[in-house]
Amino acid sequence: MSDLADSRKSYEKGEMNRKDLSSDPIIQFERWYQDAERAGIEEPNAMTLATANRDGQPSARIVLLKGFGPKGFAFYTNYASRKGQELITNPQAALVFWWKELERQVRIEGEVVKTSEDSSISYFHSRPRGSQISAWASPQSQEIKEHYLDEKRKEVESRFESVDPIPLPHFWGGFILKPFNIEFWQGKANRYHDRYRFTLSDDKHWGVERLAP
Ligand SMILES: Cc1cc2nc3c(=O)[nH]c(=O)nc-3n(C[C@H](O)[C@H](O)[C@H](O)COP(=O)(O)O)c2cc1C
């Protein structure tokens, strides 16, 4: 087994100064997102989504960011899945991006609401037909029998054989996380990382503070 305790790396790719930050964290996020795309990072939109159940027990998994802007950060899933149910019961959530090649992390906290049905329909229909079928076939997060998915997929394929477009499943759609804080982290040598956290006050003004690494 490799010795994890001795595994360490010095972060030296860049630095972040207050004067270079936009006063709007969504614009700052957009700049960093474009940097991640330009750096050729594969799936820069892959993010960790943390939710918590009614008792405060957290759980986390990767989902794909499918849009962002002043209204928040959007992703799509099965509303009946573990994350879907946790978000419906407790809409507080957090997102984390790690763009390793740039030594950058972004942490976002906020509250989620479901996206409009129109947005869910239009995103659902933008997906390949195979993904639309699997959304219907998969009771995401439920325990299933060994061959359940093969059988279910065939059944759904034949049900929708002459149906176009495939309708949006009633249990599937988007959430949008409206942030109340966003932290930008740039790795630096000797662990003197730069951290700036934006916090929303009065529901519209962003303040920014520097945090110790
Ligand atoms: C790169 C990557 C992208 C993923 N994107 C999504 C996604 O956009 N939506 C989704 O529901 N699950 C996505 N998943 C699967 C989730 O990580 C997770 O396994 C699934 O949603 C069930 O989570 P839950 O049981 O906590 O609800 C993705 C997984 C990976 C590794």
Residue 1 pLDDT: 63
Is 193 a residue whose pLDDT tops 80?
A: yes
- The CB of 77 under 6 Å from ligand 1? The reply is yes
The 3-class secondary structure across the chain, one letter per residue, is CCCHHHCCCCCCCCCCCHHHCCCCHHHHHHHHHHHHHHCCCCCCCEEEEEEECCCCCEEEEEEECCEEECCEEEEEEECCCHHHHHHHHCCEEEEEEEEHHHCEEEEEEEEEEECCHHHHHHHHHHCCHHHHHHHHHCCCCCCCCCCHHHHHHHHHHHHCCCCCCCCCCCCEEEEEEEEEEEEEEECCHHHCCEEEEEEEECCCEEEEEEECC
pLDDT > 70? residue 71? yes
Provide the mean pLDDT of the chain: 95
Which domains are seen in the chain, by residue range?
A: 12-211 (2.30.110.10)
* pLDDT for 51 beyond 80: yes
Which of 43, 59, 63 has most ligand 1 atoms within 8 Å of CB, for mutation? Answer: 63
| 12 CA to centre of own chain | 26
Q: What mean pLDDT comes out for the span 91-104?
A: 97
Q: 211 in ligand 1 pocket by Cβ < 6 Å?
A: no
- State in Å: Cα 74 to ligand 1 middle: 14
57 pLDDT tier (thresholds 50, 70, 90): very high
pLDDT of residue 4: 84
* Per-residue pLDDT at 191 exceeds 70: yes
Atom number, ligand 1, closest to the C-alpha of residue 43: 1
pLDDT of 34 higher than 70: yes
> Does the predicted model carry a pTM greater than 0.85?
yes
Q: Measured from the CB, is residue 200 less than 6 Å from ligand 1?
A: no
Q: What is the pLDDT of residues 137-177, one digit of tens each?
A: 999 999 999 999 999 999 999 999 999 999 999 999 999 99
